Structure 1
Amino acid sequence: MTAVAQAPAGAPSTTSGRRPTSRRRREALAAMLFLAPDMLGLLLFLGIPMVACLVLGFFQVDGFGGYKWIGLGNYERMFADPLFLHSLRTTLLYLVILIPGLFVVSLALALLVRQRFPLVGLVRSMLFAPNVVSLVVVALVWKFMLTDQIGVIDRILGFFGVTAPSWLGTPKWAVGSILVVTIWFAMGYYMLIFLAGLQDIPREYYEVAKLDGAGPWQTFRHITWPLLKPTSFFILLTSTVSMMTGGLDLLYVLTSGGPANSTTLIIYYIYQQAFVYGEFGYASAIGAFLVVILLIWSAALFALTRGGRFGDGDK
Structure 2
Amino acid sequence: MAKSNQARLPLLPLMGPALVGLCALLYAPAFVTFLLSLTDWQLGGSDFQWVGAKNYLSILDDEDFRSAFKNTIQYIAVVVPTAISLGLFFAILIESNKAGRAFYRAAIFLPVASTLVAMSVVWQFMLHPTAGIINKIVMLLGASPKNWLGDTDTVMWAICAIGIWEMTGLALVLFMAGLQAIPKELYEAGQLDGICTQREKFQRITFPLLGHTTFFVITYCAIRAFQVFDTVQVLTKGGPNKASEVMLHLIYTEGFQYFRTGYASALVVIYIATILLFTVVKISFTRRLAKAY
TM-score, L = length of structure 1: 0.83
Task: Please state if 1:192 is matched with 2:180.
Answer: no
Q: CA deviation at 1:158?
A: 4.0
Q: Distance in 2 between matches of 1:204 and 1:151?
A: 50
Alignment partners' CA distance in 1, 2:129 and 2:14: 57
Q: Partner residue of 1:174?
A: 155
Q: How far did residue 161 of structure 1 move?
A: 5.2
Match of 2:3 in 1: none
Deviation beyond 6 Å, 4+ runs, structure 1: none
Partners of 1:32 and 1:138 in 2: how far apart? 41
- State the 1:257 CA deviation: 0.7
Using the aligned pairs only, state the percent identity: 29
Partners in 2 of 1:185 and 1:31 — Cα distance?
Answer: 39
Q: Are the structure 2 counterparts of residues 40 and 108 from structure 1 closer, same or farther at C-alpha, using a change threshold of 3 Å?
A: farther
Whether 2:26 is the aligned partner of 1:46: answer yes
Contact 1:146 1:153 in 2 (8 A): yes
| Number of equivalent positions | 285
CA separation of 1:160/1:223 partners in 2, compared to 1, >3 Å: closer, same or farther?
closer
Per the TM alignment, residue 121 of structure 1 is displaced from its structure 2 partner at its CA by 0.5
Q: What one-letter code is carried by the residue in structure 2 that aligns with 1:192?
A: V
C-alpha contact (below 8 Å) 1:229/1:310 kept by paired residues: no
The 1:247/1:53 distance shift into structure 2, 3 A limit, reads: same
Corresponding residue for 2:247?
266
Gaps of 5+ in 2: 1-5
CA deviation vs aligned residue, 1:76-118 (integer Å, no higher than 9, x gap)? 1111112212221222222222221122111111111212332
Structure number with larger C-alpha Rg: 1
Alignment of 1:200-279 (within 5 A): 200-214=181-195, 215-244=197-226, 246-279=227-260
Name the aligned partner's letter for residue 178 of structure 2. G
Residue pairs, 1:1-315, within 5 angstroms: 25=10, 28=11, 31-32=14-15, 36=17, 41-65=21-45, 66-158=47-139, 162-214=143-195, 215-244=197-226, 246-306=227-287, 310-313=289-292
Cα distance in 1, alignment partners of residues 96 and 170 from structure 2: 18
SS at match of 2:145: coil
Q: Secondary structure at the match of 2:40?
A: strand
Cα RMSD for the two superposed structures: 2.3
- Distance in 1 (CA, whole Å) between partners of 2:157 and 2:74 is 11
Task: Report the alpha carbon displacement of residue 73 of structure 1 after superposing the two structures with TM.
Answer: 0.7
Greater relative CO (CA pairs within 8 A, separation 6+): 2
Paired letter, 2:199: W
Unaligned runs of 5+ residues in structure 1 are 1-20
Asked if 1 retains the 8 angstrom alpha-carbon contact of 2:126 and 2:133, the reply is yes
The structural deviation recorded for 1:159 is: 5.1
